[in-house]
């Protein structure tokens, strides 16, 4: 499940983009809001307490380092991790900066999944709307099919790769905890940004609020 669910989420997002050709409309934004609320809740309810319970020093410092690192990644990805894509659709060149930043982000978020089943579900749900948005852009662009499929295959495999790397025996418990703390920072930034930016003009939206409450409730009940 650790390796299958993240890949299945990207495949599902690609198929939705291929068959339905959706635009980034209200439905996609609601799905983003749900995934952001669910991911944020899983991180706070399950992942964060485990890190502080480990007794490792400087956990908070590495959380902030991860948050700052995600801000730097977003300069390269143009915000693709939380549903924004500002790339030239008329170009036939593969957006390498987007590719590399998403790869690094995906490897990082895969690192703690091997020992956290609930987080696997949170990451996978988060990947579905992101995969829809990225796939829709690539399919509508002038980038050829081979490059598009290569991009999506690598994107799908990076999170399982991060999970696999985390199983190597040379990782000490303390180093693992610090890497996981940095991932918490990444997830906190991505999930909160999704919640803040999924409303038009930051106006109150009752439907969105209900979807966020649903995401929180489901995460709590798991």
Give the mean model confidence (pLDDT) for residues 84-108. Answer: 74
Instruction: Give the start-to-end residue ranges of the domains of the chain.
Output: 4-18+26-221
Residues whose CB falls within 8 Å of the CB of residue 217, separated by 6 or more in sequence, listed in order: none
> Which two three-digit tokens encode residue 216?
């929180």
CA distance 90 to 44: 40
What tens digit of pLDDT does each residue of 135-186 get?
888 888 778 888 888 889 999 999 999 999 999 988 998 999 999 999 999 9
**Structure-model confidence comparison of residues 30 and 1, the more confident one:** 30
| CB count in 10 Å sphere of residue 172 | 9
- Taking all residues of the chain, what is their mean pLDDT, rounded to a whole number? 85
- Give 106's pLDDT tier (boundaries 50, 70, 90): very high
CA distance 59 to 54: 9
How far the first Cα of the chain sits from its last, in Å, is 16
Give the mean model confidence (pLDDT) for residues 16-30. Answer: 78
Contact 55, 181 (CB under 8 A): no
**Closest C-alpha among 211, 42, 212 to residue 121:** 42
Read off the DSSP letter of residue 198: S
| Class of residue 2 by CB neighbours under 10 A (exposed 0-12, middle 13-18, buried 19+) | buried
Model confidence pTM above 0.75: yes
Contact 156, 36 (CB under 8 A): no
**Closest C-alpha among 8, 44, 29 to residue 127:** 8
């Amino acid at each position: 499940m650790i390796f299958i669910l993240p890949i299945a989420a990207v495949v599902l997002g690609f198929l939705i983009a291929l068959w339905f050709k959706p635009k980034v409309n209200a439905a996609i934004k609601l799905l983003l809001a749900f995934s952001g609320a669910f991911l944020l809740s899983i991180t706070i309810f399950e992942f964060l307490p485990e890190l502080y319970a480990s007794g490792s020093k400087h956990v908070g410092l590495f959380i902030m380092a991860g948050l700052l690192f995600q801000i730097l990644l977003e300069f390269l990805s143009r915000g693709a991790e939380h549903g924004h894509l500002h790339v030239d659709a008329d170009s036939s060149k593969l957006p390498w900066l987007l590719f590399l930043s998403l790869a690094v982000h995906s490897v990082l978020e895969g690192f703690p999944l091997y020992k956290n089943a609930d987080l696997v579900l949170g990451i996978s749900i988060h990947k579905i709307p992101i995969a829809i948005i990225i796939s829709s852009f690539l399919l509508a662009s002038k980038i050829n099919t081979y490059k598009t499929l290569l991009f999506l295959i690598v994107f799908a495999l990076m999170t399982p790769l991060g999970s696999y790397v985390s199983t190597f025996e040379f990782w000490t418990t303390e180093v693992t905890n610090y890497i996981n703390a940095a991932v918490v920072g990444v997830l906190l930034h991505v999930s909160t940004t999704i919640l803040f930016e999924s409303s038009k003009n930051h106006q109150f939206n009752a439907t969105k609020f209900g979807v966020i409450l649903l995401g929180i409730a489901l995460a709590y009940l798991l």
